[in-house]
Structures are given as structure tokens and as C-alpha cells.
Chain A
């Protein structure tokens, strides 16, 4: 069996690993346009703030790929998929496949910002190459401006704070991390950012760059404020990379459309996984892009199991995220708002907000109060009826909340001792 995988990040590599675990003799070729061996994309912000060395960004040792006969083709973009001939065209020539995985991920969405074109100090922040460029460009006299207060923008800002003279984050929404936090949680994070020297401008955006030659020197906000800027990071969001799939005739609707159980696309023997696909959220049954690491890994694995004929239905997507800014730990899962949902809040330790609908947990926000957070994730994933549990849901979750039968079954895995 010949497998070809386009993309060498979370979904691509988990697919390659799972394919190898399920078949010794197949050939596995992974193509990436990047110059690096497969690395952890979220780690680029830790590299920016010098928390990890460059040697420590990789997902596996080079030996791993040799031992498992997984051929990683770096700097080798795939330019076309020919579904009829079952080949892909790459910078290294044509490769044929029996089964193909598209795991092209996402690309930064760069909105038109007046006067920013071709400036040497305007960056995005999504891959290691960019992180290296920013790191070598930024210095102690740099005034950095980040457009966008999402996960990527704030991580860039945190990293830049370690290097630059000033860091200002400009966000169009009225709160930071609008996609994962409720108002109160977002306010706590904003306070932490402020305390650590990051200026945050909400409900505003960069209207125009002012420059000298090929360098941006300041930005003018929509509100009229002018902020000095010698380094601009545009991090307003990402878009799924679907061009290859679309050109090959695969059905795309924002993300690549896939069968939610198998990850197969509208064309036979072509699968897709990760940030480039529409996932179906088990909590609201909506098709959406869930551009988060654990989701991509799981989808890559599911695709591999079907590609290799060991199919096992996908266990379903939902958002889970853990991140920290300046030591403030934020864990979120599921939905942040839903119609007719009830909100349970505790400020006992840090901030805990649980979202309950129809007697089931459907989301949480935990800030500096994440002890045993995964037990809440379990309740969300399994849609456990909350009336089968005892105790206060807002207390630190424990196995004592389950009935004896459930507790024993889960802890012993059915083993009698």
C-alpha cells in the first residue's frame, strides 16, 4: 500500500504514525513546504520567549522517521492532486498513492491594512520560520504592535514582551480571547496582560500604517490614536488551506468537507484531517473548523485507521484548549455560550465557570482553578447526566461524585481483585 500525506504537522504526523502501527510494509511519504522536520506548531511562541531551544521544537527524533520508514520530504510543496491518476505533483516530481491524506492546516488571514504592503517589519505568526524572523528582528528598542487578541496574537505578544520596549495588542472585539472566553474570564486575562506590561486596545483596529521607506514606524487606529510601531504582527485569525483540495474537485465549504466518522472527502481514497477540515462539534452538531492540536491529532489517527482498513468510528470533535499567559493558567472546553444554558460560577480558587444545558455539562472556563480539569472534559465528552452525580459540581471534581458502580468500573477497568 502506498500512502501519501500532504502536511507534516499534528494531523499529518499522527496519521503517519498510526499507519505504520497498522502495517509494516506500506510506503509512507509526507510532504511539507516547510524547511523544518516535523515540529510542534504551538511551541513557536515558547521559542520566541526563549523558553525552549531550537533543538527542542521537534515532535520526534530524526531516527524515529528512519526506523519507521516514514519519508519526510521537507521544502517540497505539493502543487496538484490528480484524483483520477491517483498521483500528486510535487517539487520533487510525481508520486502515486493508493490512499491520500490532506492535512494542509491553516494559513494566516491577512486583512488589507492600508500602507502595510511589502513593509519589512510586518509579520504573521503561525510557523517556525516566522518565529525565527520575528526573534531576529525584535530588539530592546522595539515598539511592537499585535493586531488580534486571539490565542496566536496573545502568545506572540507574551513572547515579544520579553524582548521589546513596548507591546500593544489591538483587538476588534470587546474582549481578549473572544473565541474561548466569556466576559468575566476575558477581563481577568486582560488584567494579567496589563499587569505584565502589555497594553490592550479593545473594540479598535489598525486603520493605517505610517512608514518611512519600507519600514512601518507607527500605526493609526480606527479611534484616531497613533501608536509607535517598529514591528507589526498581524494575527487576526486563520483560514483553512483548501486550494489544493478545491482544484482537485473535492467538496469544500470553508473547510474541506469530510465524513465525520471516517474523515474521507467527497473523492474516494482521499482523506483530510486537522485545521483544514470542517469538524462536526458533538456539543451543538454544527460543522465548524476546530483549529486545535488535540482535534487534529485525533482526526489524523481516525483517517489512518480507515486508510489502512482498521476503521474505527471517530469519537467526535469538540474544542479543548489549555494555555497560559505570564503564569496564569487557562483551560477551556466545549461551548462558551448556548441558548437556554445555565452558568455556574465559583471564585473560590481562581475563576471557574461551568455551562450546563439539559442537565449536562457542555463547556467550562477555568482560570487558575484547573485541578482535575479533565474530569469535567470527561463529563462533557460522555454527556454524563449530571443528576447521576453527587456533590457540588463546582467543587474540585473527584471520583466520589460517581456511583460506586461507575467509580469501580472506571478505576479498575473491570478487573476483579
Chain B
């Protein structure tokens, strides 16, 4: 259960630099999620940690021990792969015990460990079967079991749920969350799914284009994103971004666009005093709108489509040329094609620099 530290680690394939040098520290016994769109370098980071990819420069430390030159087997870690990577020719018991058998653990101990983990994961009745005889969800459990049997210090997960159907994924996600709370190990989890990241991570590292955009707790990322990328990536439905301009009128800071004008609360207004540019990007979460016009600042939106999701509906609306998603309770239905006035909870407005995308 070491503390893991990346120190100016970078990765290049030939002349193509996929990961510029970065620092990242994963505290002991933490569940860290690396999240980002495909090609952002999250899997490469994990694979360098696992020892499946070499490190081009920099060093990875487990506690204070440099490990980037060590073989995977010398790093005391276990890994769950996206396609499970079970050994097709071995039965489940053999799959789970492979590492222990290689390490020449006594037979009785192997049996004991395999049976304990198998019953914990509800796969004890499958031990004699081959991977091809299992369903996707069962294979997933076996992959998990194979990692757990190892009792390694660090667990790595490379998109372990992405091959499952939606229902099973939700179930496994809940089980993983339970496991996170009962097993006191370092866990590093890679996913492109922000819902998985939010529900599982003690800490989330958001990556894009090989750069770490932001790291923090799920709540920090949702409430205090540092730039438009993180703000747009975290949260579903995604945040709306509008072009706007800062203006001062009657002692109040306003942000104004083609079809709206919203007053800014005092704390944001103060921060924006020093903003270099008057042209900004305004971020509004779909949940920041309310049909109750007595609350917040009014905004007129033309409802184009209403997507019914059950208790909630997502309205696709137009504000001038811009498309805005609005989340509402299905209990108060809104007709498509009408123009409606909504209240905007101005406390939740986020203002970003138009060129750099940084939060102001």
C-alpha cells in the first residue's frame, strides 16, 4: 500500500510525445480515478504504472523507491483489464490462482484463498468452468477475483466495466464501490465514463490531450472546475456554454449575450474586477434552471425538444443560435415549440476566459 508518486514522468512514441512531463501523487489507500476522453493518456499512465509501458523520462516512486525500471511482477500490483484478459485455456480456479502458483505458494493456501475470494464474488460455483463458458458479467467478476487473490498492494483497473451492458455496469459499479470501502488498498481506476469516476473516486484526475486538467474530490470538480474542459466533462447532462460580455450597469455586474442578460452575484463580480477581457464564456449547468420564474434571473428560451427520462426531463432549447439543455421535473411538463421563461440560479453561474478557457 505504497504512496505512488509520478515525478516529471513523460511518454513518447518515437518523436510523438503523448504525455508531456507531469507530476501526480496518489496517496496511500486512496481510490483514484483517471478520467478523460479516449486518447487523453489515462491508459498510458496506468500502463506505465503497471510496467507494461516504459517510461520515457522521469521516475515513478512507490513510497520513496524508484520503480520505473522494475518488471511488472516486482511492483506488487494486480490489474483488471478492459477485456478481462482471462487465460482462455485455464478453468476459473486456475485463472485465479495463476500468480500464486507461479509464486510457489503452498497448495492448501492457494485453495483457501481462491475459495474465499470466489465466494466473496459469488463465483464459487464456476471454479471448474472455462472463461468461454461464462457470461460477460461472470468473466468480469473472475477478472476482479484474479486480482483480489493476489493480495497486492496496489490494484489497477483499466476500464473494467466498459464491456458490460448498462444494467450490469450499474450493478458492478455498486459492488466496486462496496469493495472500495471494505478493502484497504491503493486503487487506480481508468475510465472514460464520468459517472463511474464520480461514483467511485475518492479523488478524480481529469486528463485531456496528455495533460492533467484538474484533480480533486468529485464535489470539487463539479462545483469548482478550473476550466471549460473539466466543467464540460464532469456532470450530466453537460454544462451549457454561451458567449457573453461583462457589462456594468446601475452598480451591478451583468453578463450579457444575444438573448439574455444575467446579473452576477457579488462574489463573482468582485473576482471579475480583474478580468483581462470583457468578452467571456458563460457556463450554466442544466440543473441551474428552474421553471419557477420567481427564483433567480429570468431567461427566455424556445423549447425545441423535450426528452422524457422518467422523473426528470431534459429540454433542448434555443437561445438565439445557441443550444441550451435544461433539466426539469417531468411533473411540470413543458410543451415543445413554445417559448418559456425560466429562472437562472445566478449563484451557480460560472464565468470562463474566452480564449484560454480558464475559470475566472
A pairs with B:
no
Chain A contact residues, CB within 8 Å of chain B: none
Chain B contact residues, CB within 8 Å of chain A: none
